Each structure stands twice: as structure tokens, then as C-alpha cells.
Amino acid sequence: MKKISAVFTLLAAIAVFLSALASAGGQDGAGQDERTAAKTIERLSEETVAHYDAGRYGEALETAEQALVLVKGLFGPRSSEAASSLNNLGQVQAALGNITEAESLLLESIDITEEKLGKDHPEIAPALKNLAALYSSSSRLEEAEKYYRRLFRIKERSQGKNNFDLARILESLSVVVEKKENFAEAIELRERALRIREDSGIQKGSELEAARESLSALRDNYAASLNNRGISFIGKGKMEKAEEFLRKALAIREKHLGPDDPRTISTMKNLSILYIRQNKYVDAEPLCLRLLAISEDSLGTDSTGLAAEYIKMARLYQKLRMPDKAAAMYQSAISALETDPQGNALSLSRQLNNLAAHYIDREMYEEAAPLYSRAVTVIKESGIIEEPEPSSVLRNALQFFQHTGDDEKVSELQLLLGIKPEPCEKTGDETD
């Protein structure tokens, strides 16, 4: 819970005042009245602190208001002591949710201190801090940022660049800047605050860890925002903006989360898909290879679950006009699917067909023949011959074997398909 920041300034002023009375030997009636008033202010201020710290804001309001009346009477309504008392009352009003009253009191406190001591005097800091916090909690972000920055300048000038109080101010300012979605600056502020905490040498381990976790969470929020905005730009057809945001998100997540974190992988997938949609196949290749390696490490190279990744890479290499690499990826997909040929019969026959078609396009008929033979066997043994896609694979195989003159295979396929022999041109079309 926040402490009432200016009470101790006021109590110190009271102590000085009482000491001055004692030194002057003021025992007459007026002097005794002043002593009594000062002692009462001291008691009321201490009670205000106790009530506030215990969350008894109603009682704190009562004692703070009484103290302000006495302070104005003893020191004057435009005194530095009145400024401190106004700040204390303003902080209590803020805790009660009385925003308008709190703002008025804090602004008056600041005005008095500026008049008495100047705009940059350190004694103005408590009211500036409370007013900035009030604006921040009220979502008046421009005003909150203005007062936090002013507070920071005053503290830095009066206490040095590495004073511990600066870390807290920077963290509060970071919250405001983050709310305004200026994530990059918010991160810079948090990083600077953390350096101050680390260099101070007085931080407990748990406090430092909490500061590091806050910074980590902020970075993740920034990366998530960039990632989501990138996806939004894709939906709007703004591909260049989408790429910009996804690249930034990936850079942050790779640096601070590592390449294997699920959030990093998610952004990597989004960016790779975007590159493919943009026909930027050269840019997509390294990302897709990294995603494949991650999947292989996670699932094992023979996992059926990897087949889709291998197929994606095969198609990418076809776009890149790298036929040998495309063939190797199709073969890896087939090997993964062959771990359960019955359960994967539909996909297995499709990829056997696709690799065969890939070889036919390169006039590598000897390599294509066993693939079509295997596809026919898989379809026969799995009993899926009546489905549309396997039937299409069988027709492609029939046309291939007609073209190569393998009469035995032609007869087998015609029987399976229930068609009469007829001349057929080679097509070797891939199936989706």
C-alpha cells in the first residue's frame, strides 16, 4: 500500500517549529497556543498515517481535514506547511475515489510550492508524484506522462542519475507509456529502471526478480501486439505492413524467449505463411526449415505428424525450382506416412502420386514407376478404392503405365477401375 508521502515533511516542519519555540522560550499565552496547535497537528498527522496504512480512508480523511485547518491557521494558507498538508489530504481523497477533490488539492499544493520555492524544487516531488498517479489511474494519460516526466527531471537533477527513486518513477512512467501503446519506449524505460535497481546494490533478490519479470511481461505484450497487428494487416490485404510487424515480433521473441518457445514458433509460422502468400519463397525457406527442425526434435523424424511439414517444404522447393530437394521432402513425407500405411492410406497414396508426378515432369520414369505401384497396393489393401481421390490416383497410374507400355499394370488397373482398355496419353497430374 502506498504511504502518505508528504506527512513526514510536515512532521519535520512541526518538529522544527516546536524546537524554535522552545529555543525562544515562548511560554506566554500566544506561545502556548502555538505549541498546542503544533502538537495537535503532529498528532492528527500521525493518526492520518495510521488510518491510511490500515485502509481506514474515511477516518484518515477526517484527521487530514482537521490537520489542514490547523496548519493554515498556524503557518498561513499559502505556506510550505499548508502545501504539504494539502498534498496529504489530496492523497486521501484519491484513495477514496474522489478524483475531482484530489486533483484540486494536489494542484493547489503544487502551486504553493512553486510560489514559495520554485518550479523545480525537490519539495514539490510528493505532490507531483501523487497527481501523476491520480491521472494515470483515471486514464488521463497525457497529463500523467507530463507530470511523471517533470517529476523525473526534478529527482534526477537533485539526487543524481542512479538514485533508487528514479527506478520507481521510470516504472510508473512505463505503465503510462504502455497504456498509450508506445511499447518500444515503455520497454526502454523499464530497462533503464532495472539497470538502476541492479546498480544500486541495495535491492533484495525478490525485488530484482519482480522487476525482471515485469520487463519480460512487457516485452511479451509488445511482441503479442505486433504479432496480432501483423495478422490484422494480412486480413486487410496490407502485406508489407503485416511483414513489418511480424518481423519485429519475431525478433523480440527470438531474443528474449528463445527460438523454441511456443510464442516464437507461432510468430515464425505466421511470417512463413505470409512470405509464401507473397511469393517470397526465398525468405520463407529458412523459416520453414527451422519450423521443420523444431517439429523433428519434438516428434521424431518418423512421426506421422511430420508429414504435413515435409509436404509443405516439398511444395516450397518446387516453387523455388529445386527439384532434388522437393523430391527428398516428398520422400520424407512418404516415409513418415508409411509408419501406419493403413491408417494413412489416403494421404500416403496422394503423396506417392505427387512424387511420381514430380519425377514424370523431369522425365524420370524409372523413379516414378515404383511409386505408382506402391500407391496401387496401398489403395487395394486399405479398401478405399471407391473413394474419389484414390480413384483419381489409380487413373493417373493407369495413364502412366499406358505411356510406358507396362501392359500387366495396365490390365490390373483397368480391372480395378472397371473400364475397358483404351489408349491414354500420359498426364501425371498431381492431386491436391
* pLDDT above 50 for 293: yes
Question: Residue 278 corresponds to which cell in the numbers above?
Answer: 507473397
Query: Does residue 420 form part of some domain?
Result: yes
Q: Is 111 in contact with 127 (CB distance < 8 Å)?
A: no
Task: Identify the residue whose cell numbers are 494539502.
Answer: 86
What is the pLDDT at residue 429?
Answer: 59
Mean pLDDT is highest, among 7-16, 87-96, 191-200, for: 87-96
pLDDT above 90 as % of the chain:
73
* pLDDT above 90 for 7: no
What is the pLDDT at residue 34?
Answer: 85
Q: Which residue, 428, 401, 396, is CA-closest to 412?
A: 401
Query: Does residue 142 form part of some domain?
Result: no
Query: Does residue 408 form part of some domain?
Result: yes
Q: Which residue, 339, 334, 354, is CA-closest to 396?
A: 354
Query: Does residue 118 form part of some domain?
Result: no
Q: Which residues contact 30 (CB under 8 A, 6 or more apart)?
A: none
* Alpha helices (H) along 236-280: 239-257, 262-277
Q: Residue 158: phi, psi to the nearest 5?
A: -90, -25
First to last CA, the chain: 63
Report d(CA 354, CA 429) in Å as an integer.
8
Residues 130-183 have pLDDT tens digits of 999 999 999 999 999 999 999 999 999 988 877 788 999 999 999 999 999 899
Report d(CA 325, CA 35) in Å as an integer.
93
Residues 193-237 have pLDDT tens digits of 999 888 876 666 778 888 889 999 999 999 999 999 999 999 999
Task: Identify the residue whose cell numbers are 505427387.
Answer: 354
What is the pLDDT at residue 17?
Answer: 72
Q: Is 87 in contact with 105 (CB distance < 8 Å)?
A: yes
Q: Which residue, 263, 205, 276, is CA-closest to 234?
A: 276
20-29, 97-106, 125-134, 143-152: lowest mean pLDDT where? 20-29
* pLDDT above 80 for 337: yes
How confident is the model over 288-296, as a mean pLDDT?
92
What is the pLDDT at residue 4?
Answer: 56
Residues 375-428 have pLDDT tens digits of 999 999 988 887 888 889 999 999 999 999 999 999 999 998 888 765 555 555
Query: Does residue 427 form part of some domain?
Result: yes
* Amino acid of residue 83: A
Q: Which residue, 20, 18, 10, 11, is CA-closest to 35?
A: 18
The CA-based angle 47-51-53, given to 5 degrees, is 115
Strands of 100-196, DSSP E: none
Query: Does residue 380 form part of some domain?
Result: yes
Q: Which residues contact 250 (CB under 8 A, 6 or more apart)?
A: 264, 267, 268, 271
Mean pLDDT of the chain: 89
What is the pLDDT at residue 138?
Answer: 95
What is the pLDDT at residue 1?
Answer: 41
Query: Does residue 271 form part of some domain?
Result: no
Range of the domain at 362: 341-432
* pLDDT above 70 for 21: no
CA dihedral 357, 358, 361, 367 (to 10 degrees): -80
Question: Residue 425 corresponds to which cell in the numbers above?
Answer: 496419353
What is the pLDDT at residue 303?
Answer: 72
| Distances in whole angstroms, Cα of residue 289 to Cα of each of 155, 237, 296 | 51, 26, 10
pTM of the model: 0.70
What's the number of domains the chain is made of? 1
